[in-house]
Structure 1
Amino acid sequence: MEILDKLAKFYGITIDQIVHMGKEVPKEITVEDKTASEQLRLLSELDEKEKSIIYSMIDCMLTKKKFKDFFYNNVAGL
């Protein structure tokens, strides 16, 4: 039942709607169209391994951007 609870919460529907879906299918979630707080709420619903992967990817991208900015501002003009 825990999985059904998580699915229901994730898709914003009831367990009954999952079990008796009929023709209704949960909508795909697109994080980009959510507010920052909603994005964080959705990420917090992932299991620990998935969260770790997502946060590692974000850390990597932010580090890469900071390095590019540093390089452009301090080295490229030499």
Structure 2
Amino acid sequence: MNVGTNIRTLREQRNIKQQEIADLIGMHRSNYSKIENGQREISVSALDKIARFFNITIDELVHLDGDLPQEVDIEDKTTMEQLKLMQELDEEERSMIFKMIDSFLTKKKFKDFFNKNVASL
């Protein structure tokens, strides 16, 4: 099931006309109809407006069947398991994590150096 079908399902359950949703997202009704029929993609901002209109999250709108992705709890994972999970992130997210790790390691090295060389004076 695609997101357009999910939107149509919600709209029809509430007896709302296509024109009302098209007006909500600032789109011509014929273009909006293509979204419901899977012939056109929908923007994230339009998806957000529709989700808010129906008082649900974008996740709930995309996964209307209730099959929401589950959160991954990494607190009890080993370091190797955490690294494997990190590989599933996109490049920008991985880069951000590695920059944070580098920052913490640099801070620790500086602290160790300071304690060893300066604090003993």
TM-score, normalised relative to structure 1: 0.64
Aligned twin of 2:92: 49
- AA matched with 2:77: K
Gaps of 5+ in 2: 1-62
Percent of pairs with identical residues: 59
Q: Does 1:63 align with 2:106?
A: yes
Matched residues, number = 60
In structure 2, how many angstroms separate the alpha carbons of the residues matched to 1:74 and 1:49? 37
TM-score, normalised relative to structure 2: 0.43
1:1-78 matches, cutoff 5 A: 22=66, 25-78=68-121
Gaps of 5+ in 1: 1-18
